[in-house]
Amino acid sequence: MSLYAMQKFLFELNREPEVQRRYKHDREALLETYDFDEEEYRAVYEGDIGKLYVLGCNGQLLMHFAPLLGMPWAEYIQAMRDGVRNHGPVRAGVYAMTTAMDEKVAGV
């Protein structure tokens, strides 16, 4: 897995108009320049916020990717929740889940 490659891509996409243009108009060629495995490639290609979150992408980076996809704030938050529900706990990165889905944390 290449969490670094996904987050580097999102960082560049969020900041560079040319990367944004290529994502919209020449997505396959753009994504081939990054070191994604097949699962990561599909998630980025499809703009699957929930899957990217589960793969470990930082929410701050995803938060800026969502509007590029035309996704309002509430849908972005729901996409992350749905990602965990559909694909399991966050696997890597700062949001990696260390408890089971049904465990309470800090009494919550």
User: Domains of the chain by range and CATH?
Assistant: 3-87 (1.10.700.10)
What average pLDDT does this structure show over 1-6?
81
Question: Using H for helix, E for strand and C for coil, what is the string for the chain?
Answer: CCHHHHHHHHHHHHHCHHHHHHHHHCHHHHHCCCCCCHHHHHHHHHCCHHHHHHCCCCHHHHHHHHHHCCCCHHHHHHHHHHHHHHHCCCCCCCCCCCCCCCCCCCCC
Output the pTM of the full model: 0.85
> In this predicted model, what pLDDT tens digit does every residue of 34-88 receive, in sequence order?
989 999 999 999 999 999 999 999 999 999 999 999 999 999 999 999 999 999 8
What pLDDT is attached to residue 108? 42
